[in-house]
Every structure is written in C-alpha cells, then in structure tokens.
Amino acid sequence: MSRNLRLLHSTENVRGEYRSPNRAFSRSDGLDKHNARRAVVDDEVMKLVQSVFILPQSEKRPDAVAFCGVGLGVGCSWVCARASEALATQTGASVCVVDANLHSPSLHEYFEIENKSGFAEALRETAGVHEFVEHIEGANIWLMAAGIAGDEPLHPSRVRARATELRHEFDFVLIDTPPLLSSGEARLLAQGTDGAVLVVGSNMTRRESARRAKE
C-alpha cells in the first residue's frame, strides 16, 4: 500500500491540470516545475502498468482490470486514463477504457469526446460493443463513455455479457468504477474482470477505509 500512497501523493499536484496528449499545454512561469512533476507521475504510472499488465509471470496475464477508488476525489478516473495511455504506448495492443461511473462520468472530458452514447446504452441495447465505443485519435485506445444513465439498476448478467464481449474485441479492457465504499456497483463491475486496482489518496484516504475496501 505504501507504494500506491506515494504514487497518488505525486499525482495530486498535477491531476487537475494534466491533460490528454492531444491537448496543448499553455506556457506559464510554472511550466518547468509542471513538466518535472509530470515526468515523475508518468514514471510511476508506467511502473503500475508494468507490474499489473506486462511483467506478471503467471500463465495468463490480466487483460481486464477494474480501477476502483476507495472514496470520492482520489483521482481514480485520472489514474485509469493515464494507465490506458501508458499501456497502449508500451504494448501497441488495443486498449478499451470503459467509463462505468455512470452518475459521475469524466473520461469523456479527459479524452475530449462527447458523452452521447456508451456504457449505459450498451447495457440497454443489443447492438455490438463497437457501436458504443469511439476511437481516440492518435492512440490505440477506444473509449466507451458512460452514456446517459437511467434510473434502472445494473443487471449482473448483462454486465458480465458485455464485459466478455469487450474482452473478445480488445486486447486490454480497463474499467473505471464508482467509489468502492459508496456504491455496490463497483463490486459488481469488478466481478467481470481479472482483478482490481484500488486507488487511494495520500493525506486523504483513511487507512481503515482502505482496509475495508480491500476486504
């Protein structure tokens, strides 16, 4: 846990201002300092990607992973997005990022696309998953935005079916979930993956909360 705490301590200072590589960064007096912090964060995200997706020596590496924040505001969506970019760059494989945080979506803003159709529609409709994803220009990444959520609860069988379909269509699937301790949906979404990355915030997440989330 200490390594993850250090990682998120580093990202907290740049999370709000870091953008997708497609976005221009306006110059300011703090540019050099920003770039130095960004380089540190990029290095830590790459270590995370390597340890989870690239270096495992087991017979089957994980190809679907849920990113679960312990609580609100710990930067889970940001870490998921940056990990998808690092994974696509490092492996050259196809990566699909799913914004399953239906009631507080943000990945469409990070990747600068419209949130007009996505995960919510995929759970309601019968078309193939490629109808609900959008290719991110300049990267081997596809985003399934959150879409327009209704009031209906998630149906476990439908979630599992769509997760299986995504795993057949893409080399890697990264799912951004709602906060773990405040939503049962996070646990349901993680059940369709090979495992979960638990995201905590340094000087923010209580150790007892992290323990409960891990359990």
Provide the pLDDT for residue 215.
72
What DSSP line would sit under 92-144, residue for residue?
---EEEEE--TTS--HHHHTT---SSSHHHHHH--S-GGGG-EEETTTTEEEE
What pTM was estimated for this model as a whole?
Answer: 0.80
Which is it for strands 134-136 and 141-144: parallel, antiparallel or unpaired?
A: antiparallel
Type of residue numbered 166: L
**Residue 180 near residue 68 (C-beta atoms within 8 A):** yes
Please report, in tens digits, the pLDDT of each residue of the chain (215 residues total).
Answer: 334 333 443 444 444 444 444 444 444 555 565 556 566 677 888 889 998 898 765 567 889 999 988 766 768 899 999 999 999 999 999 999 999 999 899 999 999 999 999 999 999 999 999 999 999 999 999 999 999 988 888 899 999 999 999 999 999 999 999 988 677 788 889 888 998 888 876 666 567 766 776 77
Separation of alpha carbons 162 and 201, rounded Å: 30
Which two three-digit tokens encode residue 23?
Answer: 């976005």
**Residue 8 near residue 201 (C-beta atoms within 8 A):** yes
